[in-house]
């Protein structure tokens, strides 16, 4: 029985009447469809973006890294139907390091680290992710970056670009800009693709290089110096230095001392409440509280002598609800509200917003919690381990 196949787009109105030519035409037709490699900052983001863009029809397959899956589906890019391959990295794909001659602590003066040559490389634990990108990009015509829309995300995007263009230099490269991972947001981002911002990425490169040079130079200097001064206590110890670490520790120590030196004092305040027709209103005292009981008692007596109050002025003003602030603010609010820091809370925030929590520094003393947020991946593990110790 003859088969008739009508192909649209590039092969519109071509009719195939035999099986073998049909398969040849189908193969040629598929090869003419644009194919994009889409890369998100983490697997949860890739999974949800693929879910929304494919309307739940994406097909999953394994990548070389067991934690970074690959999702395939079809979607329209600027009005053209395209094949999409969605995968992810796990944060920064590349790391910064000194060249070999400067890695040995005793091979150079710490001062030389401020001018020593550095290079970017892929750590061993991310090598499988890198190989997945290199393998998948070979069959793609373009690359779409879906990393978080902040400085770190832009820099991670350029790390992905560097790896992919090393394999295929003629890629079309685009940047998807989105504020949340919802169906409307990611679809809008796909139809309004932009160009990656090299200046933002370069700013992160500068920060990373400064952190490496300053941290390595001062860590080596003070460790070697203090080991000589206190050989018994610090012979096997590392005295680290970090541009974020030291100011943060200063905040922690300052708060610790404030808690330790806190002296409880009695205070008094006046509370005013008025109820009318089941509507209850609490009035705030401008002075909040007084530490002098007699002064507070005098003010209270004045109020009770003439309990009738007069409304002198009513002011009204509009109130607007603005777009949610960046994730760090959301994390801070959740932590302060729940007064806890555990894996369940963090995972809930990550999955609901599909962004990466960079880190949380904190100090715990009794029932007092102090939270300071910084963009440093190692700090999150430090916070978790410290919480377990407490």
pLDDT given at position 78: 85
CB 270, CB 283: distance < 8 Å: no
| Residue 358, pLDDT above cutoff 60 | no
Alpha carbons 347 and 302: distance in angstroms, whole number? 54
Q: Which residues 6+ apart lie within 8 Å of 184 measured at CB?
A: none
- Compute CA distances 75 → 52, 53, 69, 85, 269, whole Å: 10, 7, 19, 10, 63
DSSP code per residue over 7-28:
E-GGGTTEEE-SHHHHHHHHHH
Residue 123 contacts residue 29 (beta carbons within 8 Å): no
**In this structure, are residues 79 and 59 in contact, taking their beta carbons and an 8 Å threshold?**
no
How many Cβ atoms are within 10 Å of 281's Cβ, its own excluded? 9
Sequence-ordered list of residues with C-beta below 8 angstroms from that of 53, at least 6 positions apart, any chain? 73, 75, 84, 86, 186, 187, 190
Scan for tokens 């007596």, then name that residue.
301
Q: In sequence order, what are the residues at sequence separation of 6 or more whose Cβ sits closer than 8 angstroms to the Cβ of residue 351?
A: 44
The encoded tokens of residue 389 equal 């110790």
Structure confidence at residue 276 as a pLDDT band (50, 70, 90)? confident
How does the average pLDDT of the chain come out, rounded?
Answer: 80
Mean pLDDT of 346-358: 46
The per-residue pLDDT for 371 is 39
Structure confidence by residue, pLDDT tens digits, 105-116: 888 999 999 999
């Amino acid at each position: 029985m003859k088969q008739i196949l009508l192909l649209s787009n590039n092969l519109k109105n071509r009719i195939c009447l035999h099986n073998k030519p049909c398969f040849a035409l189908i193969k040629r037709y598929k090869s003419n469809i644009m194919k994009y490699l889409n890369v998100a900052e983490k697997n949860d983001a890739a999974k949800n973006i693929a879910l929304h863009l494919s309307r739940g029809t994406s097909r999953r397959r394994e990548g070389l890294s067991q934690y970074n899956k690959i999702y395939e589906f079809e979607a329209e890019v600027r009005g053209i139907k395209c094949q999409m391959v969605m995968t992810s990295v796990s944060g920064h794909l590349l790391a910064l390091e000194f060249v070999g001659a400067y890695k040995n602590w005793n091979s150079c003066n710490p001062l030389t680290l401020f001018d020593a040559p550095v290079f970017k490389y892929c750590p061993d634990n991310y090598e499988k992710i890198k190989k997945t990108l290199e393998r998948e990009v070979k069959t793609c015509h373009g690359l779409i970056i879906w990393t978080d829309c902040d400085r770190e995300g832009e820099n991670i995007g350029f790390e992905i670009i560097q790896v992919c263009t090393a394999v295929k230099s003629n890629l079309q490269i685009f940047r998807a800009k989105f504020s949340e991972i919802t169906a409307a947001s990611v679809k809008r981002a796909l139809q309004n693709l932009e160009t990656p911002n090299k200046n933002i990425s370069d700013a992160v490169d500068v920060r990373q290089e400064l952190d490496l040079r300053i941290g390595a130079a001062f860590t080596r200097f003070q460790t070697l110096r203090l080991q000589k001064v206190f050989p018994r206590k610090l012979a096997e110890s590392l005295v680290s230095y970090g541009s974020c670490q030291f100011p943060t520790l200063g905040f922690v120590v300052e708060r610790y001392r404030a808690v330790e030196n806190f002296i409880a004092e009695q205070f008094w305040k006046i509370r005013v409440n008025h109820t009318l027709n089941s509507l209850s209103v609490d009035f705030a005292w401008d002075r909040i509280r007084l530490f002098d009981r007699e002064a507070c008692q005098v003010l209270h007596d004045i109020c009770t002598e003439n309990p009738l109050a007069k409304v002198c002025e009513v002011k009204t003003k509009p109130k607007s609800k603005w777009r949610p602030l960046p994730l760090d603010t959301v994390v801070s609010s959740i932590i302060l509200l729940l007064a806890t820091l555990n894996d369940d809370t963090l995972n809930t925030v990550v999955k609901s917003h599909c962004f990466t929590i960079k880190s949380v520094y904190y100090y715990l003393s009794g029932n007092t919690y102090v939270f300071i947020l910084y963009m440093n991946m190692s700090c999150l593990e430090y916070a978790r381990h410290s919480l377990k110790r407490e």
